[in-house]
Structure 1
Amino acid sequence: MWRCLTEPAELARFWGPRGITTPLDGIVVELRPGGRFETLMVGDHGSYRMVATFTEVVPPERLAWVEPASGMHTTSTLDDLGDGTTAVVIHQRHVPEAMRTPEARAGFATSLDKLEEHLQARRPT
């Protein structure tokens, strides 16, 4: 799970809501506190660049960043359940109003669906 959330080649396979792609060359991961985290999401209605700064990097259990433009803080906590699965808890603070609409929340949920599909595809058969 850690690799999926921190390696550009993995992020490019699922990052962003359904209907959006995130090209590998549009991803920057400087995996250290103070390092950049950027993704370029591209869809039919244009593109959106997420620009953030890592505030916490604790492999393989905690990853946090802040988006300076909005002030939104995102923290992902990964808990190895010991059975080959990982519980992921994502906590966000200072979420802009536009990202709290039912449509935006539904889009975020589809990005989690894409992550689950990616993880399933990576599993050995």
Structure 2
Amino acid sequence: MTATREFTITREFAAPRELVFRAWTDPQHLTRWYGPHGFTTPLDSISADVRPGGMWRATMVLDATGQEFPTGGFYLEIRAPERLVFTWREPGGDAESVITVELTDLGDGRTAMTFHQAGFTTEEARENVHDGWSSAFDRLTEHVTHPEEDTRE
């Protein structure tokens, strides 16, 4: 039997909770930050049917080589603007994990995000995905703080 591995990442944003929620659910926002530094996620590769049972997909493209990494899954729970729960398949993988994003309004236009992902079958997969999200959340921070600027590298 394989152990399930998981991780949690927390971030604070100098942005209102509604904007951070839209950054997770609106393709116009996702194209600006989804994926680690060194990747782009073309708008035409993103779809988000934001409702329980709705499907989402996005394809990250490695800038250096053009290699594509499709991701996607299904929304399980939507409670705008405070909670999202959805499934996620790692690029090229068959294993499906579950992501929970909790957004807390801190007042003064600030938001706390608690991101939790569970369902990894190997420690290596967990570490790789953690590092990718951590880099993507640096981009998310820049995007919601300066939404008119392009945050791609």
The size of the alignment, in residue pairs, is 122
CA RMSD of aligned residues (A): 1.7
1:70 equivalent among 84, 95, 99:
95
Aligned residue in 1 for 2:42: 23
Q: Which runs of 4+ in 1 moved over 3 A?
A: none
Which structure has more relative contact order (CA 8 Å, sep 6+)? It is: 2
Gaps of 5+ in 2: 1-19, 149-153
How big is the shift at 1:96? 4.3
Closer, same or farther in 2 for the Cα pair 1:70/1:60, shift >3 Å?
A: same
Superposition map of 1:77-92 within 5 A:
77-92=102-117
SS class of match (2:24):
helix
How big is the shift at 1:12? 0.2
Superposition map of 1:23-102 within 5 A:
23-43=42-62, 44-45=64-65, 46-67=67-88, 69-97=94-122, 98-101=124-127
SS class of match (2:144):
helix
AA matched with 1:55: L
TM-score (norm 2): 0.74
Separation (CA, whole Å) in 2 of partners of 1:3 and 1:52 = 18
1:32-87 CA-to-partner distances (Å, cap 9, x unmatched) read 00001101100134111112000001100000111364120001000111110110
Aligned residue in 2 for 1:112: 137
**Percentage of pairs with the same residue:** 34
Separation (CA, whole Å) in 2 of partners of 1:96 and 1:14 = 27
